[in-house]
Structure formats: C-alpha cells, structure tokens
Amino acid sequence: MIEINEIVNKILDIRNSLATRKMRDWTGEDLTAAILELSILKMSLGRFIAGIEDEKNQQETHRKKLEAIEYFKNREDKQSTRDSELNARLDTIDELKKELKLESQVKDLRILREDTSTLIDTIRTRISFLKKEMNGLS
C-alpha cells in the first residue's frame, strides 16, 4: 500500500517538474499523463486525510475522557472546581499535543490537495490551448 509520504513526494515531484520546464516544452501526452497521475494521487490523499481526521477525532475523545477522569480525581482530593479543571488540563497536555499535531497534518494535507486541484486545472487549461492550437493549424 502506498504511504502518505510517497504520495506527497510524488505530487511535489510533478509540481517541481512542471515548474522547472517551460510549459510549451510539455507535450499533450506528457500533460495528460501528469493529470492522470495527479488525479490518482489526489484521490489517495483524500483517503489519508479522512483517516487522519478519524484518528484526530479519536484522540480528542480519548483526551476529553482522560481529562474528565482527572477532573473527578482532583475533585475527590478536595481541589476546587477551578483547580480541578486546570490540573486535569495540565495532566492531559501530552494528549492535547498529539491531537494538535494530527490537526496540523490534516490542515497541511488539505492545502496540498487544494493545490493539486489547482495544478490539475492549470494543466487542463494548457491541454485545451494545445487542442485549439492544433485545430488552428489544420
């Protein structure tokens, strides 16, 4: 199974390849192949985003559960409501960090997915231009 890093690297490789070559040097066949590969990678990226979002939601649920457990332990120890809440949050800070890391990954991958869509649209525009150019020559 393809890994997320492999997907990201392939998308970036195609993007960099497009950026380093003049668009006019790309044939219609090259551009069509790039669109096909980018589309497949974009779909795979979407599945990974959904999986990471699920993991983030599970982490959030886990953190909130632990926070509630810690809160009630603190209340049993006769801490004030405010202190119990604060200490429960402090006791679950590592879980919060994991949750925020997952949230950041989702955000970054969504941006890459949107950028990939933009790149696909740009390539489609170039292919349309090539078709018009070819029709004009005949």
Per-residue pLDDT reduced to its tens digit, 67-94:
999 999 999 999 999 999 999 999 999 9
User: Which whole number is the average pLDDT over 42-71?
Assistant: 96
Q: What was the pLDDT predicted at 103?
A: 97
Rounded to two decimals, the pTM is 0.84
Residue 128 has pLDDT above 70, yes or no: yes
Neighbour-count burial of 94, counting CB atoms closer than 10 A to its CB (0-12 exposed, 13-18 middle, 19+ buried)? exposed
